[in-house]
C-alpha cells in the first residue's frame, strides 16, 4: 500500500531501468542507502519483513486442501524479524529465493523498522525496479484511510494491529 501514497505524504522512490545490466547492484545500493538514511535498522541491524505463508509449500498445500480456504487466516501475511547479513543481496539471490521477489532482478517485498517508523517496499514496475520509502507511515492519510476501511473485516490480530496503528501519534 506504500505505493498508493504520494510524495506529499513523504514517499520517496529510487528507480533502476529493467534493461540496465547493473540493475541488481544499483537496486541493492539504493535500498541500503535509503534503509540507512531513513532508519530501517535497529542497533543490531534487525528489521521486519512481511512474509506470505504461501512461500511454505506444505502450508500452501494445506490451504488448498482445506474446506475453509477462503478464511482470511489462510491468507494473512506476517512480519518476520530478520537481521541484515554481511553478504546480503536483496534484488539478486533474495528475489530469486521467492521470499523477496519473483526472480533474480525482480524484487518484491515490504519491510518495516521494528518500531514502525518507516516502511520500505521493493517492487517491479512496467519498465523498472524500485525502492519506495515512506517515513512515519502512521501519519499517511492514505494508509490511515485504508486502516479505517479495513476495520471490521480482518482477523482479531489484524484488528488489534489496525487499532494500534490508528492510535499512534500522527500530528506534527
Sequential DSSP letters for the chain: -GGGS-GGGT-EEEEEETT-TTHHHHHHHHHHHHHHHTT-S-TTSEEEEEE-GGGSHHHHHHHHH-TTTTSGGGT--EEEEEE--TT--IIIIIHHTTSSBSSTT-B-EEEE-TTSSEEEEEEE-SSEEEEEEEESGGG-HHHHHHHHHHTTSS-HHHHHHHHHHHHS----
Based on C-alpha coordinates, what's the Rg of the chain? Answer: 17
Residue spans per domain, the chain: 2-136
What order of strands is seen across the sheet that includes strand 46-51?
A: 12-17, 128-135, 118-124, 109-112, 46-51, 78-83
pLDDT (0 to 100) of residue 133 = 98
Tens of pLDDT along the chain (172 residues) come to: 899 999 999 999 999 999 999 999 999 999 999 999 999 999 999 999 998 766 667 776 777 787 776 776 666 778 899 999 999 999 999 999 989 999 999 999 999 999 999 999 999 999 999 999 999 999 999 999 999 998 888 778 888 988 989 998 754 4
Per residue in 31-68, is it b (16+ CB within 10 Å) or e — as a string? bbebbeebebbeeeeebbbebebeeeeeeeeebeeeee
Residue 172 cell numbers, joined: 506534527
Amino acid at each position: 500500500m506504500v505505493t498508493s501514497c504520494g510524495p506529499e505524504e513523504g514517499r520517496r522512490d529510487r528507480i533502476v531501468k529493467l534493461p540496465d545490466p547493473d540493475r541488481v547492484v544499483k537496486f541493492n545500493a539504493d535500498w541500503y542507502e535509503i534503509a540507512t538514511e531513513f532508519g530501517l535498522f535497529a542497533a543490531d541491524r534487525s528489521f521486519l519483513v512481511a512474509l506470505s505463508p504461501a512461500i511454505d509449500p506444505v502450508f500452501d498445500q494445506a490451504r488448498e486442501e482445506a474446506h475453509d480456504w477462503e478464511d482470511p487466516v489462510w491468507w494473512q501475511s506476517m512480519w518476520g524479524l530478520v537481521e541484515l547479513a554481511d553478504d546480503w543481496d536483496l534484488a539478486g539471490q533474495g528475489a530469486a529465493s521467492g521470499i523477496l521477489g519473483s526472480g533474480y532482478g525482480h524484487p518484491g517485498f515490504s519491510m518495516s523498522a521494528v518500531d514502525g517508523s518507516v516502511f520500505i517496499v521493493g517492487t517491479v514496475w512496467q519498465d523498472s525496479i524500485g525502492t519506495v520509502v515512506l517515513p512515519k507511515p502512521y501519519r499517511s492519510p492514505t494508509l490511515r484511510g485504508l486502516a479505517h476501511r479495513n476495520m471490521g473485516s480482518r482477523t482479531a490480530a489484524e484488528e488489534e494491529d489496525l487499532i494500534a496503528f490508528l492510535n499512534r501519534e500522527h500530528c506534527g
